[in-house]
């Protein structure tokens, strides 16, 4: 929620109070330099003790509610037939309108089960944009991911409210080219994570369904950020300003054949699931659940998380919960823009994204500008963000780097975790860094795993620029900041 102040400014307002806190430490700049060097300039390899604000992700890092924590205390640990499962099933049925539920330990586990069941060699999976784990699973199963976004999707300086829309013309052409029988399913990601958490409209979802429904192609929704996508529909799509988040989610689900999600985001728990009303799809996926995840009534999740998810699924439909990070992100983005920092617009659903191509235009794409910016932001602020650019793309079959469509530094805003002072601090340090962007140099890999290299790969700074940046920072702020 946002609130208007008497001077006309609009600020995000927290509709909760903080009752449990976790201490953080702001390590001095020289310690941060040592930490990022030891981490191979990869923010994934930093340790919590060296991080002041953890903006790596909103995955599993959101603040849980008192009701979620309370529910965890009454969970049923039965291996089979757990009452916790039935409470989650009731919630999914109630909120999503979906009857059959298959729990999984997290989102990528759901993707694995879908890949195992539907994606075969030679099959294609059209989608509005890929996510890293999605692409890895579908390709490992022998499929090909087709990204059929609209031209506006990759424009980082856009005012288009629905950059996550599927391009219907491209979808139709792709189905014609590959043949209906070779399309495993069409996947719509609710707020396209990698291009800035950008939503699709309900009108677009309906059009996709209208096109593929009569062909018998299933429509799959990745609902990991469903409450944010619904919030943006509520805010931006004509005719939905008086529709509740709950009703918007119901309307979205009425279009889809299979819904899956990572519960670590909108639901604020560590788990995931697949849900559907289609008994045939359910029965096709179900046999794999105990093979890879766990028994049907826990699917690899702890029963405590199952209980917390049953509460989280309901709470995410409250307007102030659905908008809790989106409103903070909008404020964050607006403050950065006011300081000439290049960010992706419109502000999206999970993070504020800095556009590295404009922040450090002197760094060539194959020297990983977004990776370098992630390291530089950490070095100057203790804020850990996540590279979402070429480092996040694995090499092609010939071993060549694949330049990413965008070079973004994602500064995630987990729900109900940071305060306004944190955001103001982040704005200030990023602004300082922009004034010293010329000091930032490129990176090169020194240790590189073959799959999802961004998680564990190590890099080094070309020309020891970390030292020079730390020196400039120390000159302005002293050694203890």
- List interacting residues with ligand F0G (CB under 6 A): 57, 59, 106-108, 131, 133-134, 189, 193, 222, 224, 262, 264, 272
Is 330 part of the annotated catalytic residue set? no
Pick the catalytic residue from 54, 222, 257, 394.
222
Token pair recorded at residue 137: 């699973």
Pick the catalytic residue from 87, 388, 410, 416.
388
Q: How far is the CB of 106 from ligand F0G (least distance, A)?
A: 3
- Which long-range contacts (C-beta less than 8 Å, at least 24 apart) are formed by 18-23? 18/63, 19/66
Query: Nearer to ligand F0G by C-beta: 205 or 470?
Result: 205
Residue 305's SS3 state is helix
Is 116 part of the annotated catalytic residue set? no
Secondary structure of 107-176 as H, E, C letters:
HHHHHHHHHHHHCCCCCEEEECCCCHHHHHHHHHCCCEEEECECHHHHCCECCCCCCCCECHHHHHHHHH
Nearest residue to ligand F0G by CB is: 107
Q: How far is the CB of 238 from ligand F0G (least distance, A)?
A: 26
Is 222 part of the annotated catalytic residue set? yes
β-pair partners for 146: 126
Query: Nearer to ligand F0G by C-beta: 188 or 426?
Result: 188
Query: Nearer to ligand F0G by C-beta: 452 or 462?
Result: 452
Q: How far is the CB of 481 from ligand F0G (least distance, A)?
A: 28
Measured distance CA(72)–CA(377) in Å, rounded: 37
Is 388 part of the annotated catalytic residue set? yes
Q: How far is the CB of 444 from ligand F0G (least distance, A)?
A: 25
Query: Nearer to ligand F0G by C-beta: 57 or 277?
Result: 57
Query: Nearer to ligand F0G by C-beta: 56 or 343?
Result: 56
Pick the catalytic residue from 265, 335, 384, 415.
265
Q: Angle, to 10 degrees, between the axis of helix 83-96 and the axis of helix 245-253? A: 90
Q: How far is the CB of 137 from ligand F0G (least distance, A)?
A: 9
Is the bond leading into 8 cis (omega within 30 degrees of zero)?
Answer: no
Pick the catalytic residue from 41, 240, 282, 454.
454
Is 162 part of the annotated catalytic residue set? no
Q: How far is the CB of 265 from ligand F0G (least distance, A)?
A: 6
Pick the catalytic residue from 4, 79, 210, 476.
79
Region of residue 383 (left: phi > 0; alpha: psi -120 to 50; beta: else): beta
Query: Nearer to ligand F0G by C-beta: 186 or 470?
Result: 186
Is 475 part of the annotated catalytic residue set? no
Measured distance CA(362)–CA(168) in Å, rounded: 36
Is 454 part of the annotated catalytic residue set? yes
Measured distance CA(193)–CA(198) in Å, rounded: 7
Measured distance CA(474)–CA(416) in Å, rounded: 32
Q: Which residues form the catalytic set?
A: 79, 131-132, 222, 265, 388, 454
């Amino acid at each position: 929620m946002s609130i208007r102040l008497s001077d006309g400014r609009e600020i995000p307002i927290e509709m909760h109070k903080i009752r449990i806190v976790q201490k953080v430490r702001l390590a001095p700049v020289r310690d941060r330099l040592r930490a990022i060097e030891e981490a191979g300039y990869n923010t994934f390899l930093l340790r919590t003790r060296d991080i002041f604000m953890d903006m790596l992700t909103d995955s599993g890092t959101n603040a849980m509610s008192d009701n979620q924590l309370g529910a965890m205390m009454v969970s049923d640990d039965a291996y089979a037939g757990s009452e916790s499962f039935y409470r989650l099933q009731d919630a999914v049925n109630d909120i999503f309108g979906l009857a059959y539920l298959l729990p999984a330990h997290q989102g990528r586990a759901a993707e694995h089960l879908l890949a195992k069941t539907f994606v075969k060699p030679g099959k294609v999976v059209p989608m509005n944009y890929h996510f890293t784990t999605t692409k890895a699973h579908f390709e490992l199963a022998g499929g090909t991911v087709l990204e059929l976004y609209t031209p506006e999707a990759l424009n980082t300086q856009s005012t288009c409210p629905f950059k996550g829309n599927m391009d219907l013309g491209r979808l139709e052409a792709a189905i014609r080219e590959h043949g209906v029988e070779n399309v495993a399913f069409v996947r719509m990601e609710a707020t396209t994570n990698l291009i800035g958490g950008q939503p699709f409209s309900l009108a677009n979802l309906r059009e996709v369904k209208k096109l593929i429904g009569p062909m018998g192609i299933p429509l799959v929704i990745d609902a990991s950020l469903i409450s944010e996508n619904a919030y943006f529909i509520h805010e931006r799509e004509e005719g939905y300003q008086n529709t509740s988040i709950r009703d918007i989610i119901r309307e979205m689900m009425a279009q889809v054949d299979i819904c899956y999600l990572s519960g670590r985001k909108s639901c604020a728990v560590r788990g995931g699931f697949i849900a559907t009303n289609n008994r045939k799809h359910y029965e096709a996926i179900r046999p794999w659940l105990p093979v890879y995840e766990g028994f049907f009534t826990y699917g690899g999740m702890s029963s405590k998380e199952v209980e917390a998810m049953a509460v989280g699924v309901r709470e995410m439909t409250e307007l102030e919960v659905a908008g809790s990070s989106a409103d903070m992100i909008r404020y964050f983005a607006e403050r950065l823009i006011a300081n000439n920092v290049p960010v992706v617009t419109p502000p999206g659903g999970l993070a504020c994204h800095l556009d590295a191509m404009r922040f450090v235009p002197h760094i060539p794409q194959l020297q990983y500008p977004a990776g370098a910016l992630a390291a530089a932001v950490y070095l100057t602020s203790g804020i850990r963000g996540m590279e979402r650019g070429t480092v996040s793309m694995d090499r092609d079959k010939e071993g060549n780097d694949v330049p990413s469509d965008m070079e973004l530094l994602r500064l995630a805003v987990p729900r109900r975790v940071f305060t306004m002072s944190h955001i103001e601090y982040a704005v200030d340090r990023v602004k300082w860094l922009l004034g010293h962007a010329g000091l930032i140099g490129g990176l090169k890999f020194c240790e590189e795993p073959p799959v999802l290299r961004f998680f564990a790969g190590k890099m080094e700074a070309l020309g020891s620029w970390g030292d020079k940046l730390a020196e400039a920072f120390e000159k302005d702020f002293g050694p203890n900041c």
